[in-house]
Amino acid sequence: METPPPVNLTRLHLKKITKHYPAVIANENIDLAVEAGEIHAILGENGAGKSTLMKIIYGVTKPTSGEIWWENQSVTIKNPAFARTLGIGMVFQHFSLFETLTAVENVALSIKGDYNLKTLAHRITELGEKYNLPITPAQPVHELSVGERQRLEIIRCLLQEPRLLILDEPTSVLTVQAVESLFVTLRQLAAEGCSILYISHKLDEIKNLCHKATILRAGRVTGQCDPQLETPHSLARMMIGRDLPVLHKKPAALVADAAIPRLKITHLSQRRENPFGTDLSDLNLAVAGGEILGIAGISGNGQQEFLQLISAELSLNPTLAQTKPAIAMMGQNVDNLGVTGRRQLGFGFIPEERLGRGAVPGMSLQDNLLLTAAREEKLLNHGFIRGKILAAKTDRIIKEYNVKCGGGLALAKSLSGGNLQKFIVGREILQKPKILLVAQPTWGVDVGAAGFIRQALLELRDQGCAILLISEELEEIFEICDKIAVLAKGRLSPIKPIADSSVAEIGLWMSGLWDKTDNRDNRDNREN
């Protein structure tokens, strides 16, 4: 790895930065110096204050007290527009994109100058090809998957040629190859003098990429280190203050009625409803109670359409009416059954997008629990909300899943990404689903919380739940799943036991390169 260029310029210096909220102290007396050409990691658990500190630097949030020095001059960063004039760019963990605008229109809103959209679209395409971050400029953002939105955020920042680039979980839904390409870009930027603040829970990335790391815990700086001299284990211990949790995975024990899959997909095909979507072609799978089936794949290969069909957010194309039921839950055809009907059969869903789909940002945790658990948890009585029971069940999730927040009345948008994810996972598991669909369960979650969530899914499996897990984290799939398949270009690979597969093989399959003679039109999938 290249060393930082020998420049004697402190690009950013924070002095005693403090941020108080009514219910919590997010940052307290933070001192941080970032040199020109330095890749500087910020480590900490979810809720440690990392994102708040980055928002202060970018002008989204005003500090309660403290000073910000930029290139040896004291500054007041009033808003993101002013931050960009200084040369500060930021890729947020929770995206700042307008859903109804196209990718190129979103980029045009954030850069200086009067750009022709056609020229700008060409620049976006060029940059995407150069750094393996493919984006279709004319595609509306609401049609982009989480991974595609993250690519767009990164490209939008790189177009601004920043002098300080803030990256908040930039690789959480990127492929291994795309991460390697991004690292080449970041190292080149650093060699040219750009400073980079890098937040990630992937400790091997921190070790391989960063020159320095500052550790935050409970809003305070607790230490600094050279990541290259540490191990992922020692970094984790500094970050969470304890040893990493150890997963306890028992051999899968199928439920007594395993011969009848709790979730079965048969010859499922779907024509995309927009020109930028992905057609699904003849998908077949079955998940029995007491097992976890993991679906790997690169974002944008049909995952979004597949998730929406199973969760009933999207209806089957009437022109592709099935001769047999395409989606069955608990042995019952649910092709024409809506969200409520599927939940009544015992279906639970943890979507990849926490804010907006997993939770309503402007509603409290109590109200977000009420949205999906009112019937199952008897939170209503003749149409009236049973407030005490609702509050007690919300507090139970907060306690059992160690959700750091201001209590059950805290707004969903006030929680860090990892803490909101723990709440959503707890909310769904509380209802004891018979079938659980999970998408990217540990995206942007710290190592301690990720281990906790994975263990919770394993325990739910051991209670007989059938779990379908869609994730771009191969490590996660191999760690907790019993079987694995790949979704590529709208087609599903053969399903294999985890013990009979390898990361190398699955990586090849993610490009759609599995042997068609072995696939047998996915007929073998229906037997698994």
Per residue in 34-47, pLDDT (tens digit) is 999 999 999 988 77
Cα distance between residue 358 and residue 377, in whole Å: 18
What local confidence, expressed as pLDDT, does residue 369 receive? 95
Domain for residue 351, yes or no?
no
Asked which of 410, 428, 446 is the last residue of a domain, the reply is 428
Give the count of beta carbons closer than 10 Å to the beta carbon of residue 322.
Answer: 14
Asked which of 224, 240, 256 is the last residue of a domain, the reply is 240
Q: Are residues 314 and 454 in the same domain?
A: yes
Mean pLDDT on 375-403: 90
What local confidence, expressed as pLDDT, does residue 519 receive? 44
pLDDT band per the 50, 70, 90 thresholds, residue 324: low
Cα 429–Cα 435–Cα 436 angle in degrees, nearest 5? 55
* Placement of tokens 């003849």 in the chain: 282
Domain for residue 220, yes or no?
yes
Q: Could you tell me which of 482, 460, 473 has the C-alpha nearest to residue 528?
A: 482
pLDDT band per the 50, 70, 90 thresholds, residue 499: very high
Mean pLDDT on 324-329: 85
Read off the amino acid at residue 80: P
Q: Are residues 49 and 198 in the same domain?
A: yes
Domain for residue 355, yes or no?
no
pLDDT tens figures, 501-519 = 988 888 888 878 786 434 4
Mean pLDDT on 103-114: 86
Chain mean pLDDT for the chain: 87
Q: Are residues 147 and 273 in the same domain?
A: no
Q: Are residues 227 and 268 in the same domain?
A: no
Q: Could you tell me which of 440, 444, 355, 422 has the C-alpha nearest to residue 172?
A: 444
What local confidence, expressed as pLDDT, does residue 382 receive? 84
- Dihedral Cα 75, 76, 82, 84, nearest 10 deg: 50
Q: Are residues 394 and 305 in the same domain?
A: no
Q: Are residues 368 and 338 in the same domain?
A: no
pLDDT band per the 50, 70, 90 thresholds, residue 1: very low
What local confidence, expressed as pLDDT, does residue 515 receive? 64
What local confidence, expressed as pLDDT, does residue 173 receive? 61
The SS3 assignment for 216 reads strand
Q: Which residue has the higher pLDDT, 126 or 319?
A: 126
Domain for residue 470, yes or no?
yes
Mean pLDDT on 59-64: 95
What local confidence, expressed as pLDDT, does residue 349 receive? 96
SS (H, E, C) 132-144: CCCCCCCCEHHHC
Provide the domain count of the chain. Answer: 3
Asked which of 240, 255, 279 is the last residue of a domain, the reply is 240
Q: Are residues 31 and 66 in the same domain?
A: yes
Question: Is the confidence at residue 5, as pLDDT, over 80?
Answer: no
Q: Are residues 185 and 51 in the same domain?
A: yes
Q: Are residues 443 and 486 in the same domain?
A: yes
The percentage of residues in the chain with a pLDDT greater than 90, rounded to a whole number, is 55
pLDDT tens figures, 430-462 = 999 999 999 989 877 777 788 889 999 999 999
* Placement of tokens 């509050």 in the chain: 391
Buried-state track 36-73, b at ≥16 Cβ within 10 A, e below 16: bbbbbbbbbbbbbbbbbbbbbbbbbbebeebebebeee
pLDDT tens figures, 133-190 = 788 999 999 888 777 887 898 888 888 888 999 998 887 666 666 677 788 888 988 9
Question: Is the confidence at residue 8, as pLDDT, over 70?
Answer: no
Domain for residue 3, yes or no?
no
Q: Are residues 318 and 459 in the same domain?
A: yes
Q: Are residues 368 and 478 in the same domain?
A: no
What local confidence, expressed as pLDDT, does residue 174 receive? 64
Q: Tell me, what CATH number does 124's domain have?
A: 3.40.50.300
Q: Are residues 235 and 251 in the same domain?
A: no
Answer whether 0.85 is exceeded by the pTM.
Answer: no
Mean pLDDT on 313-322: 70
Mean pLDDT on 238-263: 79
Q: By the 8 A CB rule, do 45 and 91 touch? A: no
In DSSP terms, 470 is beta-bridged to 295, 439
Question: Is the confidence at residue 365, as pLDDT, over 70?
Answer: yes
Mean pLDDT on 388-396: 95
List the domain range (segments joined by +) for residue 365. 360-428
Domain for residue 74, yes or no?
yes
What local confidence, expressed as pLDDT, does residue 2 receive? 46
* Placement of tokens 């976890």 in the chain: 292
Domain for residue 353, yes or no?
no
Q: Which residue has the higher pLDDT, 213 or 451?
A: 213
Domain for residue 1, yes or no?
no
